[in-house]
Amino acid sequence: MRFRELGHTGMKISQLSFGASSLGSVFRDVPEDEAIATVYKAIDLGINFIDCSPFYGITKAETVLGKALKELPRDAYYLATKVGRYHDREFDFSAERVTKSIEESMERMNVDYIDLIQTHDIEFVHLDQILHETLPALVAAKEAGKVGHIGITGLPLHVFDYILDRADEGIVESVLSYCRYSLNDHSLAAKFDKYQAMGVGIINASPTSMGLLTERGAPDWHPAPKEVIEACAEVVQLIQSKGQDIVELAVQFACHPEAITSTLVGTANPKNIEKNVKFLETDMDQESLAEALAILKPVLNQTWASGLPENQDPGVVVTG
Ligand code: NAD
Residue 121, ligand 1, Cβ within 6 A: yes
Residue 217 lies in a domain: no
Angle at 101 between CA 99 and CA 103, to 5 degrees: 80
Mean pLDDT of 206-226: 94
- Rounded to two decimals, the pTM is 0.97
Contacting residues for 245 by C-beta, under 8 A, at least 6 apart: 239, 275, 279
The answer on pLDDT for 110 being more than 70 is yes
Which residue of 206, 222, 229, 276 sits with most ligand 1 atoms within 8 Å of its CB, as the best mutation to test the pocket?
206
Distance (Å) from CA 132 to ligand 1 centroid: 31
Q: Which domain holds residue 44?
A: 3-212+247-284
The answer on pLDDT for 207 being more than 80 is yes
Residue 310 lies in a domain: no
Give me the amino acid identity at 271. K
pLDDT of residue 26: 67
- pLDDT tens across 256-267, in order? 999 999 999 999
Residue 267, ligand 1, Cβ within 6 A: yes
- Report the distance separating Cα 6 and Cα 79, nearest Å: 13
Residue 27, ligand 1, Cβ within 6 A: yes
Provide the CATH number for the domain around residue 101.
3.20.20.100
Q: Which residues pair with 51 in a beta bridge?
A: 19, 80
Catalytic status, residue 40: no
pLDDT band at 185 (very low <50, low <70, confident <90, very high): very high
Determine how many CB atoms are found less than 10 A away from the CB of residue 289: 17
- pLDDT tens across 231-261, in order? 999 999 999 999 999 999 999 999 999 999 9
- Report the distance separating Cα 39 and Cα 226, nearest Å: 33
Residue 275 lies in a domain: yes
Domain total for the chain?
1
Residue 306 lies in a domain: no
Determine how many CB atoms are found less than 10 A away from the CB of residue 320: 3
Picking from 225, 202, 249, 239, the residue whose alpha carbon sits closest to that of residue 300 is: 225
Residue 318 lies in a domain: no
Residue 276 lies in a domain: yes
Q: What radius of gyration do the chain's Cα atoms show?
A: 18
Residue 29 lies in a domain: yes
pLDDT of residue 319: 77
- Report the distance separating Cα 205 and Cα 208, nearest Å: 9
Whether the Cβ atoms of residue 264 and residue 17 lie closer than 8 Å to each other: yes
Residue 239 lies in a domain: no
Contacting residues for 280 by C-beta, under 8 A, at least 6 apart: 1, 2, 15, 16, 251, 252, 255
pLDDT of residue 29: 79
